[in-house]
């Protein structure tokens, strides 16, 4: 090989390439060089919110070493002589005009590496060991390099406000005015694209080739994923930063859990060279989302896809060349297909891991269990087949636990959502459940909402030190007493819900009697019959307007078929928060009986019980109002109090019903 070099160019008069046919035959995947140089690869672009492709990549004869598409050869200008020895070694000699660039050199992208681009930028080496990150993720960072996003605040604001004046060169020049490093130049370009370029849904569906031309992108400010990646690469090159476009498969819109990938690639993204190392970005998915129902694009900036850690990027991006995974060890296509897919919001909202680590779960004895670990306390919810039913979700200090009981055999869809610091729940995980057995004994009340059991959230809402920290309470006689501390100024409301329809909305609070003792609230619960019930707990600040807020619920379980407790007496607004009822607790009194009463009432002057006649209550030494009344001849009995001794107006505080004779 003879090299001649002047100040402007490098020419190669003869190129000899020696490699083993046996080795090439073993590399028979489309992500590497093909054994047949005439093989044609077709690829198309895709988007996180659109399932079908955008356009087919240009037909080519092979990939270059960087995964880029080599130009078509013109055999009439060159002669290629190939010979083999008996060991299977191939010798290829290319003879070409002196001033022409060798075609084999183009194919292996050495020409561009030696010549550089129009700005004099030379291509770095293929990604190698120093670019690779360990797999699986080590939880160190969401990014592939140390970043403090606060350092970009001013630059992000500036870049998002830059407008197109003429062409791409001037746009890049304006963007990098406030950038002082390659990292900041890349950041400015990323921010501008993510905030100005809209995903072209129509072009994606029609596979419009015009959608990825730079002039059209700048004019319409719309494109597909090919256009996003191509524009990002061109802008980085103009800014003097090395950048590559990487085609491959993606788990975007239309992705089905467990599906296999083959044929045309459906997406494209970028690798950018910063601080001596390759990094990954996806400006398509960083810009926004396409709504599944309306097929309309919405700008929704996603920081996750800027310099994403490769061990996380591989969850939804599989490049044509395994070297662009930037992982050690690299993952196979089968691993990509079968691997758990954590959506970007999973990591954006501070989650670390989820178990099981497979996206398809087979129930055991009719139950499937999912746990999530998070960095900070997080609110979760779930939906099974689109409904918030058939599951017990309990919050933990750093995550959650979910037990799901599918109501039928077959395949079910389980979605898990997280709230994070925003007021919006976002989908973070999705599983497919395979159920071959239904545990009918595990059926749950439809009104059992999420979460179940007390947690850091109930403590944050003012409910402290619960007597029952577990979410499920078993009672053998159909009664239970639950207590907890309550922050000052907090009011508690509770209601009981079952599935049999016997508990009407009016009766939901009548099977619960609320007492207050020494800064603790006690809920006495009596079940109307055996079964499973949801005990819902609500809170409200007394001095603030508005409705009570749901905090959590308990699951109450009773298997005793003899249980048949009546409701508690009905209480009225004047029943004080600190009042206490000792007897009678049943809201239904027997007829023609003398019934003893014992209550602790605060801040009153007199108390009495009114039925057919009136019976006064007296205050004993322990501070309880005591007395009795006859239920003869009456259908209802009331407890009444006089708050001011100087007035004659009595208020109703409790109401009992009397059984018919």
Active site amino acids: 225, 267, 282
Beta strands 306-308; 277-281: pairing state: antiparallel
- Where b means 16+ CB within 10 Å and e means fewer, 14-24 reads ebeeeeeeeeb
Q: What single-letter DSSP state applies at residue 75? A: G
| Vertex 392 angle, CA 504 and 365, to 5° | 115
Question: For residue 610, which of 638, 587, 635 has the smallest C-alpha distance?
Answer: 638
Cβ atoms of 246 and 265 within 8 Å: the answer is no
How far is 131 from 521, CA to CA, in rounded Å?
60
What three-state secondary structure class fits 505?
A: helix
Q: Name the phi and psi angles at 289, rounded to 5.
A: -135, 155
Cβ atoms within 10 Å of 494's Cβ, excluding its own? 21
- Where b means 16+ CB within 10 Å and e means fewer, 110-120 reads bbbbbbeeeee
How far is 591 from 570, CA to CA, in rounded Å?
18
Structure tokens at 286: 């960083």
How far is 532 from 517, CA to CA, in rounded Å?
28
Q: Name the phi and psi angles at 232, rounded to 5.
A: -60, -45
Q: Which helix (H) or strand (E) holds 491?
A: strand 490-497
Cβ atoms within 10 Å of 218's Cβ, excluding its own? 17
Question: For residue 567, which of 595, 554, 548, 586 has the smallest C-alpha distance?
Answer: 586
| 648-651: Cβ within 8 A, 24+ apart | 650/606, 650/608, 651/572, 651/574
How far is 480 from 523, CA to CA, in rounded Å?
8
What three-state secondary structure class fits 258?
A: coil
Q: What is the DSSP string of 261-287?
A: --SS--EEEEEEEETTEEEEE-HHHHH
Q: Which helix (H) or strand (E) holds 555?
A: strand 549-558
Structure tokens at 311: 């061990």
How far is 311 from 142, CA to CA, in rounded Å?
9
Cβ atoms of 183 and 275 within 8 Å: the answer is yes
Cβ atoms of 527 and 565 within 8 Å: the answer is yes
Beta strands 472-474; 549-558: pairing state: parallel
Q: Which helix (H) or strand (E) holds 472?
A: strand 472-474
**Dihedral (CA of 404, 408, 410, 411) sign:** negative
Strand 351-355's sheet: what is its strand order?
351-355, 368-374, 399-404, 391-396
């Amino acid at each position: 090989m003879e090299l001649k070099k002047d100040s402007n160019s490098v020419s190669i008069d003869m190129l000899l390439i020696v490699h083993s046919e046996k080795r090439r035959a073993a590399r028979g995947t489309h992500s590497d060089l093909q054994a047949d140089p005439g093989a044609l690869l077709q690829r198309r672009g895709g988007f996180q919110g659109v399932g079908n492709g955008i356009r087919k990549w240009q037909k080519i004869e092979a990939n270059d070493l960087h995964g880029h598409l080599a130009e078509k050869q013109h055999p009439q200008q060159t002669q290629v002589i190939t010979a083999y020895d008996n060991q299977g070694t191939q010798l290829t000699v290319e003879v070409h005009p002196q001033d022409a660039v060798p075609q084999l050199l183009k194919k292996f992208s050495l020409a561009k590496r030696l010549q550089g681009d129009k700005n004099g930028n030379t291509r770095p080496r293929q990604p190698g060991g120093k670019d690779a990150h360990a797999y699986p993720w080590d939880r160190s960072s969401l990014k592939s390099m140390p970043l403090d996003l606060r350092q970009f605040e001013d630059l992000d604001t500036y870049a998002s406000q830059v407008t197109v004046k003429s062409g791409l060169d001037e746009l890049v020049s304006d963007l990098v005015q406030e950038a002082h490093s390659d990292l900041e130049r890349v950041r400015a370009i990323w921010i501008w694209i993510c905030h100005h370029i809209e995903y072209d849904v129509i072009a994606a569906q029609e596979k419009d080739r015009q959608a990825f031309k730079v002039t059209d992108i700048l004019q319409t400010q719309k494109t597909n994923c090919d256009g996003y990646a191509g524009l990002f690469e061109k802008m980085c090159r103009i800014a003097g930063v090395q950048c590559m476009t990487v085609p491959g498969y993606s788990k975007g819109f239309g992705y089905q859990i467990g599906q296999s990938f083959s044929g045309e690639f459906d997406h494209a993204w970028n690798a950018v060279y910063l601080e001596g190392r390759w990094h990954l970005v996806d400006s398509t998915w960083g810009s926004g989302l396409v709504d599944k129902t309306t097929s309309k694009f919405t700008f929704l900036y996603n920081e996750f896809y800027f310099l994403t850690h490769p061990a996380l990027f591989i969850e939804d991006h599989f490049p044509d060349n395994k070297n662009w995974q930037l992982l050690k060890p690299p993952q196979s296509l089968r691993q990509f297909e079968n691997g758990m897919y954590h959506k970007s919001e999973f990591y954006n909202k501070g989650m670390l891991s989820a178990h099981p680590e497979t996206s398809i779960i087979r129930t055991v004895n009719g139950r499937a269990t999912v746990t999530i670990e998070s960095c900070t306390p997080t609110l979760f919810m779930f939906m099974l087949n689109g409904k918030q039913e058939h599951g017990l979700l309990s919050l933990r200090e750093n995550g959650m636990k979910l037990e799901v009981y599918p109501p039928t055999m077959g395949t079910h869809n389980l979605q898990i959502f997280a709230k994070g610091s925003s007021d919006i729940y976002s989908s973070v995980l999705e599983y497919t459940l395979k159920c071959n057995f239904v545990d009918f004994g595990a059926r749950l009340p439809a009104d059992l909402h999420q979460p179940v059991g007390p947690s850091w959230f109930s403590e944050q809402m003012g409910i402290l030190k619960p007597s029952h920290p577990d979410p499920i309470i078993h009672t053998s006689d159909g009664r239970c007493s639950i207590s907890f501390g309550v922050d000052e100024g907090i009011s508690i409301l509770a209601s009981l819900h079952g599935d049999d329809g016997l508990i009407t909305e009016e009766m939901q609070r009548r099977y619960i009697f609320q007492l207050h003792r020494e800064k603790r609230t006690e809920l006495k619960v009596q079940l109307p019959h055996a079964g499973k019930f949801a005990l819902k707990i609500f809170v409200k600040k007394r001095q603030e307007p508005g409705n009570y807020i749901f905090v959590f619920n308990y699951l109450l379980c009773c298997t005793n078929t003899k249980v048949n407790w009546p409701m508690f007496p009905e209480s009225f607004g004047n029943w004080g928060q600190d009042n206490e009822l000792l007897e009678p607790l049943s809201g239904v009194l027997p007829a023609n009986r003398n019934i003893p009463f014992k209550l602790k009432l605060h801040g009153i002057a007199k108390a009495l019980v009114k039925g057919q006649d009136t019976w006064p209550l007296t205050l004993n030494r322990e501070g309880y109002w005591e007395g009795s009344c006859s239920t003869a001849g009456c259908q209802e009995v009331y407890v009444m109090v006089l708050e001011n001794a100087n007035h004659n107006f009595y208020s109703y505080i409790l109401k009992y019903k009397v059984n018919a004779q």
